């Protein structure tokens, strides 16, 4: 039986690339989505077409009760997960003086509370399975250096790194690793309308990253070769500090 991995926000962009790459590496993937059932099913279909195993799982990572309910149901039918990729996230950019309370709450609730909402129901089943495991959270270069107009986003992504490092200390003796991957500028919907030529000049490698660049880093952290790496943050940013 293939080891199961949940990828939150796995229907599009970076999440879909991670799901496809981990499926290629032999994991059975649960593709979480919130609204875009069509995109999730397309990701699942693409994985299956290449001989992988995948299914779609609908819940909002910001909704604690929904996470607990749907994950309990999923665990009952499929058993514990070997790994989790916390990729689901959102942004609501604005200069801080003009940032609404709703924009702050929505970003923090999804990006940071989602860490608790998803992982809390899954960690004890992973421990009880006694098979080790992998947890990877997708942070951001904004969580390291900050970014104008992204006080909420930067706070959530910095908190995600700290939470992951703390969780790594708790789970290390169980053989479960927990690491963060912090992408820089990646060609996703988040960059729609951005001045790409100007942004590219800021990157030492002089190119915008691709989703598969992030997926490769996650795949490495899921590999046996990364079994002694935990509590770390891996930047995927073309040298952008």
Question: Any catalytic annotation for residue 82?
Answer: no
Torsion sign over Cα 28, 65, 181, 12: positive
DSSP structural state of residue 61: T
Cβ neighbour number for residue 124 with a 10 Å cutoff:
10
Total Cβ atoms within 10 A of residue 219: 19
Cα of first residue to Cα of last residue in the chain, in angstroms, is: 41
Strand order in the sheet with 4-7: 53-58, 28-33, 4-7, 83-86, 133-138, 176-183, 233-236
Tell me how far CA of residue 226 lies from CA of 171, 220, 232, in angstroms.
15, 7, 11
Compute the C-alpha angle 77/81/86, nearest 5°: 120
Catalytically annotated residue among 81, 116, 153, 228:
153
Task: List active site positions.
Answer: 153
């Amino acid at each position: 039986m293939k080891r199961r991995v949940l990828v939150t926000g796995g229907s599009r962009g970076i999440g879909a690339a991670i799901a496809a790459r981990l499926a290629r590496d032999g994991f059975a993937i649960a593709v979480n989505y919130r609204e875009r059932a069509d995109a999730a099913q397309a990701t699942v279909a693409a994985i299956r077409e290449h001989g992988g195993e995948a299914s779609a799982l609908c819940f909002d990572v910001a909704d604690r009760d929904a996470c607990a309910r749907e994950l309990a149901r999923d665990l009952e039918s499929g058993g514990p997960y070997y790994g989790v990729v916390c990729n689901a996230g959102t942004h609501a950019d604005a200069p801080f003086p003009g940032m609404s309370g709703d924009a702050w709450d929505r970003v923090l609730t999804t990006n940071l509370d989602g860490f608790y909402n998803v992982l809390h129901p899954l960690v004890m089943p992973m421990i009880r399975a006694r098979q080790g495991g992998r947890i990877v959270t997708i942070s951001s270069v904004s969580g390291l250096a900050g970014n104008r107009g992204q006080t909420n986003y930067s706070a959530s992504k910095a908190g995600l790194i700290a939470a992951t490092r703390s969780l790594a200390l708790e789970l290390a003796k169980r053989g479960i690793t927990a690491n963060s991957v912090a992408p820089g500028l990646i060609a996703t919907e988040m960059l729609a309308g951005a001045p790409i030529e100007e942004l590219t000049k800021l990157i030492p490698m002089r190119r915008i990253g691709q989703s598969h660049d992030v997926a490769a880093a996650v795949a490495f952290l899921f590999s046996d070769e990364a079994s002694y790496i935990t509590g770390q943050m891996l930047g995927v940013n073309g040298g952008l500090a």
